[in-house]
Amino acid sequence: MATVGLLYNLGKYDAPEEGEPPDINAELDGESTVVAIAEALKWGGHNVVFVEGDEDAYTRLKESKIDIAFNICEGLRGESRESQIPAMLETLGIPYTGSGVLTLAIGLDKPIAKKIFAYHGIPTPRFRVFDVFDEITSDGMSFPLFAKPAHEGSSMGVSPSSVVRNESELRYQVDYVRRFYKQAALVEEFLEGREFTVGIIGNRNPMCLPIREILYDHVPAEHGNVYSRQFKVEFDQEDKYYQCPANVTEDEAASIRAVALDAYRVLDCRDVGRVDLRMDRDGRPNVLEVNPLPGLTPNFSDLCKTAEAAGMGFNWLVNSILEAAIDRYDLKHLSSPVMQSGILAQTA
């Protein structure tokens, strides 16, 4: 049993300031998510200390008496913002759940992550990055293309307009990303095959949760096959827009899991992560991105939904992530007596 510092950033439902894109706060958490995680940790027998990951977090962490941190902080600002709180925790010598400073920085820097995938032979769509002064051209890539911010998550900046089919649309969308999100645009070849997401838990022998497919058959034609923020919020009927476990052959499932685990490992993800993939024209799964800090909103986040399909309740999911970190740090005395007892996940 441990005293767990729950680190978070609120503000999901705050209105954007003038000139900011409407989804600027999409990565942040709502109070209900923080409360649900805290209750899950208490279910596991732990004490919980709340620490918001703002400018005063370092002082509060230094003065706290926590044994380990459960980190869901997205950070305040900048292209490596997800690394800010873990860097503080490492400076103070406080163990924490989830990936380390470098992995979190790379996970949010999608072009760098894709370069690493390419180096290791992990399939990923061909791409280019357009910084603020770069000439916008499709040279070396084939339409349709997909344009999105280079340093965002939670489908920020992703909409039906992200799919571009000619040079004019490409220039417009890249310019939109650079102006509104004030960062480089990542442009990659758009794979029009099936789309999947795979949740992963663990370290030495990481476990894939059931494969979840995003279904586009009933999506309005004008929206297209894009897993946008709009899709996640509005198209929420589980058996209509999602299928978990996905209806894939054993060979397809094995291939998807193998590629997902390869991507998880080469970025040195720890404890938990989520890998998003699409099939190319040859039916080969390609990694779109790896999220080493996946959302944990009950009954909404992809990771939570895949855990449900595995018979893993929310309490069990949260404590499994914590137990993975406890094991990684060799802090067995902090382990949850509830988890050690082997209570069936369905009871959580």
pLDDT band, very low/low/confident/very high, at 233 (cuts 50, 70, 90): confident
Which amino acid type is present at position 196? F
- Looking at residue 327, its pLDDT comes to 95
More confident of the two residues 21 and 263: 263
- Looking at residue 25, its pLDDT comes to 52
For 204-208, which contacts have Cβ atoms below 8 Å and span 24 or more sequence positions?
A: 206/261, 206/264, 206/265, 206/269, 208/257, 208/260, 208/261
- Looking at residue 271, its pLDDT comes to 97
- Looking at residue 348, its pLDDT comes to 41
Separation CA 155–CA 115 (nearest Å): 21
Instruction: Flag whether pLDDT at 34 surpasses 60.
Output: yes
Instruction: Flag whether pLDDT at 105 surpasses 70.
Output: yes
Q: Give residue-wise pLDDT tens across range 194-230.
A: 999 999 999 999 999 999 999 999 998 889 899 988 8
**Strand 47-52 to 127-130 pairing:** unpaired
- Looking at residue 19, its pLDDT comes to 59
All structural domains of the chain with their residue ranges = 3-98, 126-189, 195-292
Q: Give residue-wise pLDDT tens across range 292-320.
A: 999 999 988 999 999 999 999 999 999 99
Best CATH choice for the domain 3-98 from the list 3.30.420.40, 3.20.20.70, 3.60.15.10, 3.40.50.20: 3.40.50.20
- Token pair in block for residue 313: 């309740």
- Token pair in block for residue 170: 């490409």
Residue corresponding to tokens 């007596």: 337
**Average pLDDT in the 41-52 region?**
95
Distances (CA, A) of 210 to 68, 247, 274, 275: 29, 11, 12, 12
**3-state secondary structure (DSSP) of residue 187:** strand
Q: Contact at 8 Å (CB) between 209 and 215?
A: no
Q: What is the mean pLDDT of the chain?
A: 90
Cite the DSSP H helix spans in the chain: 31-43, 57-63, 84-92, 101-108, 110-119, 167-180, 229-234, 238-241, 250-266, 302-309, 314-328, 337-340
| CB contact set of 341 (below 8 Å; sequence gap of 6+) | none
Residue environment code for 44-69, b if the CB has 16+ CB neighbours within 10 A, otherwise e = bbbebbebbbeeebbebbeebebbbb
- Token pair in block for residue 192: 């029009």
Instruction: Flag whether pLDDT at 102 surpasses 90.
Output: yes
Q: Contact at 8 Å (CB) between 186 and 131?
A: no
- 149: which strand partners? 185
Q: Contact at 8 Å (CB) between 267 and 292?
A: yes
**3-state secondary structure (DSSP) of residue 58:** helix
More confident of the two residues 210 and 336: 210
Q: Contact at 8 Å (CB) between 260 and 97?
A: no
Q: Give residue-wise pLDDT tens across range 135-157.
A: 899 988 999 999 999 988 767 88
Q: Contact at 8 Å (CB) between 288 and 278?
A: yes
CATH of domain 195-292: 3.30.470.20
CATH of domain 126-189: 3.30.1490.20
- Looking at residue 28, its pLDDT comes to 63
- Looking at residue 11, its pLDDT comes to 55
Separation CA 153–CA 73 (nearest Å): 13
Separation CA 212–CA 239 (nearest Å): 11
| CB contact set of 78 (below 8 Å; sequence gap of 6+) | 84
Question: Shortest CA distance to 210 belongs to which of 265, 248, 153?
Answer: 248
- 10: which strand partners? 29
Instruction: Flag whether pLDDT at 12 surpasses 80.
Output: no
Q: What is the share, in percent, of the chain residues with pLDDT greater than 90? A: 73
- Within 10 angstroms of residue 212's Cβ, the number of other Cβ atoms is 22
Burial class of residue 347 in the structure, from the number of CB atoms within 10 Å of its CB (0-12 exposed, 13-18 middle, 19+ buried): exposed
Rg of the chain over Cα atoms, rounded to whole angstroms, equals 20
Instruction: Flag whether pLDDT at 344 surpasses 90.
Output: no
Burial class of residue 96 in the structure, from the number of CB atoms within 10 Å of its CB (0-12 exposed, 13-18 middle, 19+ buried): buried
